[in-house]
Amino acid sequence: MRLGVVGAGTMGAGIAQLGCAAGFETVLHDPFAAALENGAADARQGLERWAEKGRAAAGAAGLLETAAELDGLAGCDLVIEAVPERAELKRELFEALGAVAPGAVLATNTSSIPVTALAGAARDPERVVGMHFFNPPPLMRLVEVIAADQTGPEAVALAHEVAAAMGKVAIDAADGPGFLVNRCGRPFYAEALRCLQERIAGHAEIDRVYRLGGGFRMGPFELMDLVGVDTGYAVARSFTELSFGEPRWKPSPIQARMVAAGRLGRKAGRGYYDYDGDPHRPADPEPPAPDPAALGALGDAPAPAGADAELVRRGTAFAALAADAGLADCATEPLGGRAATGFALLPGAGLVELCGERDPAAEALAARAGLHTAWVGDAPGLVLGRVVAQLVNEAAFAIGEGVGSAADVDRGVELGLNHPRGPVAWSELLGVERVAATLDGLWRHYREERYRPAPLLTRALATGRGLAELG
Ligand SMILES: NC(=O)c1ccc[n+]([C@@H]2O[C@H](COP(=O)([O-])OP(=O)(O)OC[C@H]3O[C@@H](n4cnc5c(N)ncnc54)[C@H](O)[C@@H]3O)[C@@H](O)[C@H]2O)c1
């Protein structure tokens, strides 16, 4: 197997490293000498580190060749392109490769350009396929394999074979906006931006709720800063363009304003957070120690699969205390102006969201149950309930539209986005009823198509069958 990699940047260098580690003769090409040199050096260094750890053969770095000219890719069986995200550049490249490596399968690592539009430029569109790696390729375990409308079975089979030889989990995704994984991840950002826009909470508080309540490693705003606020904005715009205006995928005016102000995130020293040398936020503390008396009265009901049993116990204790104290359960319905304190809590969450009248007694109850708190504005599902409902809803649309299977949605989101669980698992943890009721609350509150339930979710609700079974 002779593998060609075009573009020696972040992704190309990582993919070349994977090719050598898999034992392929690997040719890396970049027309810019410095980029080629740096990319090859990164790949070699990575391979040496892997050889020390026994994850690659000692001589694996010797399999890497560099090519200053495209002609160096002659004789390749597979060429993976990782050049900048510009359709015209990629189309020209595929056209040129038809003459240089006429028998090769051509794979694109594009994140947002339809593979079908790129295949059209190739001499043999049947041999074009999407192989979408995640950043950084050597570490992230997932590859999405995308068949364009023109792609033949051989190209798909080769993409799977090569991904497997590189030690990746490969999933099939349809050729639509964001393919499977990035599409299913949209609400993670989109609902956070809506919460910020509506002043339900500030960016740092929303991030804290995602981490401590949702179990996400990073919140949406710190992640947007890391990826680049401009990159996130471009992705959101491409979703809108490719879908002719799907309301769930609209970019946020906040993104446009941040980009206009040059607040592009870490690379600019300033985004949602300031990066002036200190950590952008303090480390998260452990949850408070619970009062044994608050937990003592509980029976031993089994925790739902995939949830932290101790946190589920604490949540159950809090719900009992909250009911006694007359707090309003806002899991799916907002307070809507009632003079009360409301709360919402996901099963197994380490943080209770509170809304309405700022009664310190409510915080004390959460502390007794051993949970963090966050005060947020009143809206259906508060922050996390709304985010999770839309994550499940997006997945239900995607599964229903044949973008991928239910099992691949969860594997993809866990491995590609590092979420603590996939949307199908979220739907099982919360129950389809709660997800549907939250969406219904959002729909009645906003009257926006953005919150319409996916047909598959409605079917799951009507039949009592889960998304895993239906998808
Ligand atoms: N960075 C990510 O997180 C990520 C994740 C998944 C997919 N992608 C996709 O991977 C592709 C590459 O992204 P990246 O982050 O590695 O970009 P990058 O800017 O780090 O690297 C691009 C490389 O392509 C080279 N290049 C420019 N013109 C070229 C040409 N005509 N022929 C060959 N090489 C050329 C550049 O010199 C550079 O080394 C894009 O399509 C991007 O959407 C990126």
Per the structure block, which two tokens stand in for 322? 């909250």
DSSP state of 81: E
CA-only gyration radius of the chain, Å: 24
- 335 and 203 inside one domain: no
> Which candidate in 112, 182, 393, 427 is catalytic?
182
Pocket lining for ligand 1, CB < 6 angstroms: 6-12, 30-32, 35, 82-85, 89, 109-111, 133, 135
- 189 and 166 inside one domain: no
Q: What is the pLDDT of residues 395-408, one digit of tens each?
A: 999 999 999 999 99
What pLDDT sits at residue 294?
85
What pLDDT sits at residue 278?
84
- 19 and 142 inside one domain: yes
Is residue 89 situated within a structural domain? yes
What pLDDT sits at residue 300?
65
Distance 49 CA to ligand 1 centre (A): 23
Is residue 112 situated within a structural domain? yes
Above 70 in pLDDT, residue 82? yes
What pLDDT sits at residue 30?
98
What pLDDT sits at residue 122?
98
Core vs surface per residue 233-255: b (16+ CB within 10 A) or e: bbbbbbbbebbeeeebbbbbebb
Give residue 108's Cα distance to chain centre.
20
Above 90 in pLDDT, residue 296? no
Domain tally, the chain: 3
- 53 and 134 inside one domain: yes
Percent of the chain with pLDDT over 70: 99
CA terminus-to-terminus distance, the chain: 36
Residue-by-residue DSSP string for 343-402: EE--TT-SEEEEEES--HHHHHHHHHHT-EEEE----TTTTHHHHHHHHHHHHHHHHHTT
Check if 144 is active-site.
yes
| Domain final residue pick, 158, 175, 192 | 175
- 205 and 322 inside one domain: no
Q: How many angstroms separate the CA atoms of 255 and 314, rounded?
A: 37
Is residue 433 situated within a structural domain? no
- Reported as type and span, the H/E element at residue 171 is strand 169-173
Is residue 408 situated within a structural domain? no
Is residue 247 situated within a structural domain? yes
92-101, 284-293, 397-406, 412-421: which range is least confident on average?
Answer: 284-293
What pLDDT sits at residue 268?
97
- 164 and 57 inside one domain: yes
Is residue 309 situated within a structural domain? yes
Is residue 457 situated within a structural domain? no
Is residue 399 situated within a structural domain? no
| Domain final residue pick, 175, 194, 214 | 175
Confidence category of residue 325, pLDDT binned at 50, 70, 90:
very high
- 139 and 47 inside one domain: yes
Q: What is the mean pLDDT of residues 277-291?
A: 92
CATH number at residue 237: 1.10.1040.50
Distance 37 CA to ligand 1 centre (A): 15
Ligand 1, closest atom to CA 13?
16
The domain in which residue 236 lies consists of 183-268
- 159 and 193 inside one domain: no
- 221 and 96 inside one domain: no
CATH number at residue 56: 3.40.50.720
Q: Which residue has a Cα nearest atom 15 of ligand 1?
A: 10
| Domain final residue pick, 268, 301, 320 | 268
- 88 and 109 inside one domain: yes
Distance 30 CA to ligand 1 centre (A): 10
- 30 and 171 inside one domain: yes
Q: Which residue has a Cα nearest atom 38 of ligand 1?
A: 9
Q: What is the mean pLDDT of residues 86-100?
A: 98
Q: What is the pLDDT of residues 347-397, one digit of tens each?
A: 999 999 999 999 999 999 999 999 999 999 999 999 999 999 999 999 999
What pLDDT sits at residue 297?
63
SS3 label, residue 144: strand
What pLDDT sits at residue 298?
66
Distance 95 CA to ligand 1 centre (A): 18
- 136 and 214 inside one domain: no
Average model confidence (pLDDT) across the chain: 96
Task: Check if the beta carbon of residue 214 is closer than 8 Å to that of residue 388.
Answer: yes
Above 70 in pLDDT, residue 299? no
